[in-house]
Chains A and B, each alone.
Chain A
Amino acid sequence: MVEFSGVCVYIEQRRGIIQEASLQLLGEGRRLADKLNVNLMAFMIGYDINSIINEPIYYGADRVVYIDDEIYRYYNVEVYTQVLVELLLKYRPEIFLVAGTKYGRELAPSIAARLETGITADCTGFDIDESRNLVQIRPPFGGRVLAYIITPIKRPQIATARPNVFPAPKRNIDRKGEVICENVSIKKPRLELVEFKESGDKELPIEKAEVIIAIGRGLSKSDYHLAYELCKVFSNSAVGCSRPLVDQGLMPRSKQVGQTGKTVRPKLYIAIGISGAVQHIAGMKDSRYVIAINKDPNAEIFKFCDFGIVGDYKEIIPELIKVLRSKH
């Protein structure tokens, strides 16, 4: 049997755009590869991706293995699983890292089950132990604890990583590496993508914002404009929300902060009409400064804020906008 060696990162691209979370993982992959003294490889699948196949090298990979064909234009878990299983069996990396996007969180366990190997979800840290195992660190129980997990025997060791935890490395177009075009034959999938409706969300994504105005169930729909007005006082700012607003169709999924939404770490997080449930806190607890506005003095959110104001947002926000505008 050929030994497993090397670190590999799956590079997720959607319509020719590489996901930020995959680039972030290249930095972490590079660090682990250097620690093990092995190569860093990147797998990429898509259609018409020629213009981006060198990107993983610019971000730290030594080698890119890619597949380019019309049938890979859109993600399909069944098709992508088959392809990645083939590549993993051929190139045999000891570590396989996947960005924890929705696709990644579905694809990685699918691959792990086929290869009958171990997988750890939603990691926020990695290390290498003295036996050269990958130590996979993750926050279960709503982020109360950190669990350290290894896959001592089975290879590859597969893990998904939480987006926006690892910083993306600097792009360096002078880096050189090897690029290999692969071809695999796959079985016709049972699962068929019939339609993809792209959401027209053109605003600054919350994970990139420096200031987030987060709104919760405490706000009436007719007052959402107040949050947007407050948002406009800052630059690089975005409006985020708690989960119930998304479930009720009042806000898009892309704006949800929390355990089942996005993890954000802005400079300033202003929570308005949010009670502070553990699942919400899990997504914003690493923000630099947290302001909470809530009419209930006993709201949990006040335990997780730097500055809290007890009162009605209807009264506070307009005044806050005035104060900030005059002193900013």
Chain B
Amino acid sequence: MLNMVVGVKWVPDTADVKFDPAKGTLIREGVESIINPPDLNAIELALSIKEKYGGKVYVISMSPPAALKGLKIAIAMGADKAILLTDRRFAGADTLATSYTLAMAIRKIGSYDIIIFGEETIDSATGHVGPEVGEILGISHVSYIKRILNIDLTSKIIELEREVENGVEVYKSKLPIVVSVGVGVNNPRYPIPIRRLHAEIETDKYIEIWGLSNIDAELDRIGLQGSPTRVIKIIAAPTVQRRMEVFQYSKEVLNLMVKRLRECEVL
């Protein structure tokens, strides 16, 4: 029996987010939110471990209440229980304060063997949360894993494989451990409609809502005051102006292309 905890972030679909250069802010209104894509792979990994070794899958998200929608999807995929960490005082957290809050909540869940995160979020894209949660809990952590090779339930030793730029590494560690996975390590399963219905009508049975009073967290380590970093401004990223000459294919087009390459001193 293994207890898995999966961190899930409810994020605006970045493909639709626009920037308001006048105000220097991102326009999130009307933008659909989704489960951060690699977090679906994290849920899938947890469920597949459960199927092979037995256990329980908890999903946790620190977010405003809107993330409830995402947690219902996670339940519909097969997670046993979800925790929505929501409290005004958690707001404004950077990655360190987020990791601390998540770590304290995970500690409150009690027994955990494998904590799984996505490799990074599509909005902030830091990949900090995995290593930071691991360090705060004082347990092993490995990012960018490709697959779990083996878990020995008696000795509680896990063996896993991950890929770096110049090769593949195999690691071994005693549980508990934190790992992170990217999109492409597996194919996340679809939510099951009947579970979705249950998550909808018996939400309380599957999803708990926790605030600051439910976890043992120090006030000066959460939210904005617990965040060592500050975003001072956001600007539109400068873009290279492209010529965008697009043609239907013909042999003459290729000659024109070669001409352009010469003009632009590429050839």
Interface residues of A (CB under 8 A from B): 14, 77-78, 81, 101-103, 105-107, 109-110, 112-114, 116-122, 135, 139-154, 189-199, 201, 243-244, 246-247, 253-254, 259-260, 267-268, 277-279, 285-286, 288-292, 297, 302-312, 315-316, 319-320, 323-324, 327-328
CA distance A299 to B258 in the complex (A): 22
Chain A residue with Cβ nearest B126 = A121
**CB-based contact A306/B264 at 8 Å:** yes
Asked whether, in the complex, the Cβ of B171 is within 8 Å of the Cβ of A114, the reply is no
A168 to chain B, nearest CB (A): 17
Q: How far is the CA of A306 from the CA of B168 in the complex (A)?
A: 37
Q: Tell whether, in the assembled complex, residue A109 and residue B132 are in contact, meaning their CB atoms are under 8 Å apart.
A: yes
Among A103, A118, A149, A306, point to the contact of B232 (Cβ < 8 A): A149
B64 lies within 8 A of chain A by Cβ: no
Given A119-B95, A194-B159, A199-B166, decide whether A307 and B257 contact each other with a Cβ distance below 8 A. Answer: yes
Inter-subunit contact A142/B15 (CB<8 Å): yes
Residues from chain A with a CB closer than 8 A to the CB of B94 are 118
Contact indicator A267/B143 (Cβ below 8 Å):
no
CB–CB A119/B229 < 8 A: yes
Min CB distance, B137 to chain A, in Å? 10
The answer to whether A110 and B135 touch across the interface, beta carbons within 8 angstroms, is: yes
- B171 CB to nearest A CB, Å: 6
Q: Which residue of A lies closest to B247 (CB)?
A: A309
Judging by beta carbons under 8 Å apart, are B232 and A150 in contact?
yes
Report A-chain residues with C-beta under 8 Å of the C-beta of B155. none
Nearest chain B CB to A288 CB, angstrom units: 7
State whether the Cβ of B140 lies closer than 8 Å to any Cβ in chain A. Answer: yes
Given A191-B171, A308-B244, verify A121-B127 contact (CB < 8 Å): yes
Given contacts A191-B177, A323-B254, 10 further A-B contacts (CB under 8 A): A110-B131, A110-B132, A113-B99, A146-B236, A147-B233, A192-B173, A260-B182, A277-B15, A289-B261, A305-B246
**A311 lies within 8 A of B249 (CB):** yes
Check if B1 is an interface residue, CB within 8 A of chain A. Answer: no
Pick 17 A–B contacts, CB within 8 A, sort by A: A106-B127, A107-B131, A112-B96, A145-B235, A149-B231, A151-B230, A153-B228, A154-B228, A191-B173, A193-B169, A201-B166, A246-B184, A259-B125, A307-B243, A307-B260, A311-B249, A320-B257
Contacts of A310 in B (CB 8 A): 246-249
Residues of B within 8 A of A (CB): 14-15, 17, 19, 26, 94-96, 99, 119-120, 122-128, 130-132, 134-136, 139-144, 159, 163-174, 177, 182-184, 221, 227-240, 242-249, 251, 253-255, 257-258, 260-261, 264, 266-267
Q: Give the distance to chain B from A22, nearest Cβ to Cβ, in Å.
A: 13
Residues from chain A with Cβ under 8 Å of B135 in the complex: 81, 109-110, 113-114
Scoring B164, B229, B245 by chain A CB atoms within 10 A of each residue's CB, the highest score goes to B229
Q: How far is the CB of B211 from chain A (nearest CB, A)?
A: 23
- Nearest residue (CB) in A for B135 is A113
Instruction: Give the number of residue pairs across the A-B interface with Cβ within 8 Å.
Output: 246
Q: A105 contacts which chain B residues (CB < 8 A)?
A: 127, 143
Is the pair B17, A144 in contact by a Cβ cutoff of 8 Å?
yes
- Docked complex Cα distance between A121 and B96 (Å): 12
Contact of B134 among A110, A117, A120 (CB under 8 A): A110
Expressed in whole angstroms, the minimum distance between the Cβ of A199 and any Cβ of chain B is 5
Chain B residues closer than 8 Å to A121, beta-carbon distance = 95, 125-128
* Bound-complex Cα distance A278 to B168 (A): 28
Contacts of A198 in B (CB 8 A): 166-167
A152 to B231 CA separation, bound complex (whole angstroms): 10
Query: Are B132 and A112 within 8 A (Cβ)?
Result: yes
Contact A109 B15 (CB under 8 A): no
In the A-B complex, the 9 residue pairs with the closest CB atoms: A311-B249, A247-B184, A118-B228, A308-B246, A113-B135, A121-B126, A118-B229, A109-B128, A154-B228
Closest Cβ–Cβ distance, residue A98 to chain B (whole Å): 12
Chain A nearest CB from B40 CB (Å) reads 14
Q: How far is the CB of A316 from chain B (nearest CB, A)?
A: 6
Q: Give chain B nearest CB distance to A252 CB in angstroms.
A: 9
Q: Is the CB of A144 within 8 A of B244?
A: no
Shortest C-beta distance, A241 to chain B (Å), equals 13
A145–B239 alpha-carbon span in the complex (Å): 10
CB-based nearest A residue for B176: A190
